[in-house]
Structure 1
Amino acid sequence: MDLLVVQRPQISEEEISDARRKFIIEPLEPGFGYTLGVSLRRTLMSSIPGAAVTQVKIDNVLHEFSTVDGVTEDVTDIVLNLKGLVIRSENEEPTTVYLRVTGPTTVTAGDIELPAGVELLNPDHHIATLNSKATLSIELRVEQGRGYVAATTAAKEAIGTIPIDALFSPVKRVTYEVEPTRVAQMTNYDRLILDVETDGSIAPREAVSAAGSTMVELFTLFAGLGEGEGGLVLGPEDGDDQVSGILATPIEDLDLTVRSYNCLKREDVTTVGELVQKSEQDLLEIRNFGQKSIDEVKGKLEEMGLSLAERDY
C-alpha cells in the first residue's frame, strides 16, 4: 500500500491562567479532530498520575461517624475537607504526614507537617475549627496513583483508620471542540481546540505531554503488528515553509501572457497565494479577462499542484 504524505499539523497555545491553557492543533485531516479530541480527553482525565490522601487516623476516634471534643466539624466533615487537599508528591512509596494543633484556632492545610518530597499547593484550605479546649491530632497517608480509587477498595486496616476516596488525577477539566480550517483552497480540514485545566500540581502543558506519550506507547503496539506500509505519514517539519514559499511566488514567475498578467495586476493580484483565493467566476468578472485567460491560469496552477478556489454561493 502506498504511503500518503499529509501536511504536518502545528500546535499553538493560549494561556488562560497558570492552571488552565488552550491548545490549538491544525490542520488535521478531516475527521481526525474528533479522533484526537476524544482520545486525548479520556487519557488526560484517567491516566495522568497524581497524589492524594488515601486514609487518615484521628486520635481518640474509631470511625468517621464520630465527633471530636471542642471541634466544630464532625469527623465526616473533617474527612471531606481533607479530600480537598491539593498535593504534589515525589515519593513513590506511601508517605505519612501529621497534623497536630491545639485550639483556639482555625486549622488549615498549612498546619500539616510535611516531609521532604511532599508539597501542599493550597495551604489556606480549611480543615477544622477548634475552641480553646480542643486538640486535634491526625495521621494522614499520602500515596501516588491514577484516576479514582474508592475507599471500599482499600485494603483492610486497623480499627481507627479511616479510608478515603482518592481522586489522584491532577486534571480537573478537559473540553474540546472541532472547527473547520482552510488549507490553500480546501476548507474541510479540522482545527482541534483542547481546553485543559489542572489543580495546579501539574502544568497543563505537562499533562498534555504525558497524555501524548501514553497514547504513543499504546499505538506503537498496533504499528508493530504487520510489516506492510500504509496509512498517513506527516510531511517534514518545514512543510509549512515550503507551502508558504509557493504561495508567495509572484505572478510574474508564472509566465502568463501580457493580457492575463496586466488584468491581474490591475486587480492587485500580485502573488500565487492571492490568485488561488479567486474563483473562476471572480476572474471572469475582471474586465478583458476571458475564458482563454482562465484556461491559461488554471494550467499554470495545475503545474504547481494548485487550483482556483471554489466559489461560495
Structure 2
Amino acid sequence: MTAAIGFPMPKSIIVDDASSTENYAKFIAAPFQRGYGHTLGNSLRRVLLSSLEGAAICSVRIDGAKHEFDALDNVLEDVTEIVLNLKCVRLNLHADGPKTLEIRKDKAGAVTAADIVCDSTVEVLNPEQLICTLDKSLPFRAEIEVIKGKGYLPAEKNTAPRAIGTIPVDCLFSPVTRVNYQVGAARVGEETEMDSLELEIWTDGRITPQAALEEAARILRDHLQPFMGNQVVEKDVVLTEEESKMFKLLSHDVEILDLSVRAMNCLNSANIKLIGELCTKSESRMLKYRNFGKKSLDEIKEKIEKLGLELGMTFSDRLMTALEAESVRVRSEAEESK
C-alpha cells in the first residue's frame, strides 16, 4: 500500500495527563496539512458520538404493573418514574446476545441498581442509582432486558415481540457523552501553515476516553477500506517464514489465554480481541483502561509469557499490516453475525 507523499503527519498523539480523569481526556495531534485538522476532528467527533457500541436496558416488566402509567401500592414512584430511573442505569454487557436480569427487594427503603441480580457477564457501573422507593416491606420484583447497540433507540422504535406487561425503555447505547475539538496552528521548520488538532472526550464510565478514541479511529479506517480499490491487505503482504509463524500466534483470539472473568471483561471493555492487539499495548497503557489493575496486568503478563510474548512488543511493518487486516476481518465477521 503506497504511503501518501508530502503530507505532514503526527508521529504520536499527546495525552494531557494533567487534566485527564477516568472519564475525560484531552488529546493533541500535530502537524497536519492545512484543513486536515477539521476533516479528522469532525469525522472523529461524529463517530465517537454515534457509532460506539454500548449496552442499555431496553425493557422492563414489573410485577403488578400492567402499563407505564400504572402505580404500585408499595412504591412511592409511579411506573413512569421507575422507567426514567432505569434509563440512568449504566452497565456493561460482556456477552453478545440480550440478557434478562431480575431486580428483587423485600424490605422498605430504596431500590437501587445494586439490587439488580447480575452474573459475570454484566457489570453495573453506578450501583447507587435509585430505581424506586418501597414504603412497605412487601416484595418488589421486576425483570429487565439488556441489549447491545449503537447510538440511541427511542422506546417507540423498540418494538421487539415481548410478553404482555413489558414496557419498552429508551436506549442510550453510546458511552461517549460529549466531544469537543479545536484546530490551531502548528509549525514544522519554516512551514507555519499547518494544523494542530486538540480533541476532548468525555465518557460515562463504560469506556475510557483513550479506548473510545482508538475504537472510533478503527471504525473510520474500516469504512475507508472499500475506497482503496482492490488493495486487499492480506494478499498484498508477503511475510517471511518467521513472521508467518508469529502471525499465526498473534492472530489468535485472547480467549485462548484462559483468563479470569475480571481480566477478560477488562479486555472486552477495551475492545482488545486478538493476542497481537494485546501485545502491542504497553503496561502503562493497559493500566489506563477502566477497572484494569495490577492483579489483572500480572495475570495477563504471566499468560502471554508462556507463549513467548510480552507487552509493549514491536513488529515489522509487514506483520503489523497483516495484523491490522486480521483485526478488520474479525470485527467485520462479528458485525455480520449479529
Counterparts of 1:223 and 1:68, CA distance in 2: 59
Q: Using CA pairs below 8 Å that are at least 6 residues apart, which structure has the higher relative contact order?
A: 1
State the number of aligned residues.
227
Counterparts of 1:133 and 1:2, CA distance in 2: 69
SS of residue matched to 1:4: coil
Residue correspondence of structure 1 range 55-70 to structure 2 within 5 A:
55-70=59-74
Aligned with residue 95 of structure 1, among 81, 96, 99 = 99
For the aligned residues, what is the CA RMSD?
A: 1.9
The answer on 1:201 being equivalent to 2:206 is yes
Runs of 4+ in 1 over 6 A off after TM superposition: none
Matched AA of 2:14: S
Give 1:5 shift: 2.8
Q: For the structure 1 residues 104 and 7, does the alpha-carbon distance in structure 2 shift closer, same or farther, using more than 3 Å as the test?
A: same
Q: Deviations over 1:138-174 (max 9, x none)?
A: 1000111111111112224222000011011111111
Matched AA of 2:195: D
User: Counterpart in 2 of 1:179?
Assistant: 184
SS of residue matched to 1:127: strand
Gaps of 5+ in 2: 232-338
Q: For the structure 1 residues 13 and 60, does the alpha-carbon distance in structure 2 shift closer, same or farther, using more than 3 Å as the test?
A: same
User: Counterpart in 2 of 1:6?
Assistant: 7
Counterparts of 1:80 and 1:41, CA distance in 2: 27
Counterparts of 2:106 and 2:116, CA distance in 1: 13
Give 1:135 shift: 2.9
Contact 1:11 1:24 in 2 (8 A): yes
Aligned with residue 130 of structure 1, among 130, 134, 156 = 134
Residue correspondence of structure 1 range 223-302 to structure 2 within 5 A:
223-224=228-229
Contact 1:69 1:134 in 2 (8 A): no
Counterparts of 1:116 and 1:4, CA distance in 2: 49
Bigger helix fraction: 2
Counterparts of 1:25 and 1:108, CA distance in 2: 42
Q: For the structure 1 residues 112 and 2, does the alpha-carbon distance in structure 2 shift closer, same or farther, using more than 3 Å as the test?
A: closer
The answer on 1:117 being equivalent to 2:95 is no
Bigger strand fraction: 1
Counterparts of 1:181 and 1:19, CA distance in 2: 28
Counterparts of 2:188 and 2:76, CA distance in 1: 63
User: Counterpart in 1 of 2:227?
Assistant: 222
Counterparts of 1:180 and 1:49, CA distance in 2: 33
Q: Deviations over 1:82-124 (max 9, x none)?
A: 0001101111010011101123111111111102210000011
Q: For the structure 1 residues 216 and 105, does the alpha-carbon distance in structure 2 shift closer, same or farther, using more than 3 Å as the test?
A: same
User: Counterpart in 1 of 2:147?
Assistant: 143
The answer on 1:33 being equivalent to 2:32 is no
Q: Deviations over 1:186-221 (max 9, x none)?
A: 221111111011111111111111110111111111
Q: For the structure 1 residues 159 and 2, does the alpha-carbon distance in structure 2 shift closer, same or farther, using more than 3 Å as the test?
A: closer
Provide TM-score, normalisation by structure 1: 0.69
Counterparts of 1:193 and 1:80, CA distance in 2: 35
Matched AA of 2:209: P
Provide TM-score, normalisation by structure 2: 0.64
Counterparts of 2:31 and 2:4, CA distance in 1: 19
The answer on 1:211 being equivalent to 2:213 is no
Counterparts of 1:208 and 1:86, CA distance in 2: 20
SS of residue matched to 1:17: coil
Structure with larger Rg:
1
Q: Deviations over 1:29-83 (max 9, x none)?
A: 1000000011000101111100000000000111000011121111000000000
Deviates more, 1:149-158 or 1:206-215: 149-158
Gaps of 5+ in 1: 227-313
Counterparts of 1:173 and 1:182, CA distance in 2: 29
Among all aligned residue pairs of Structure 1 and Structure 2, give the percentage whose two residues are the same amino acid.
Answer: 41
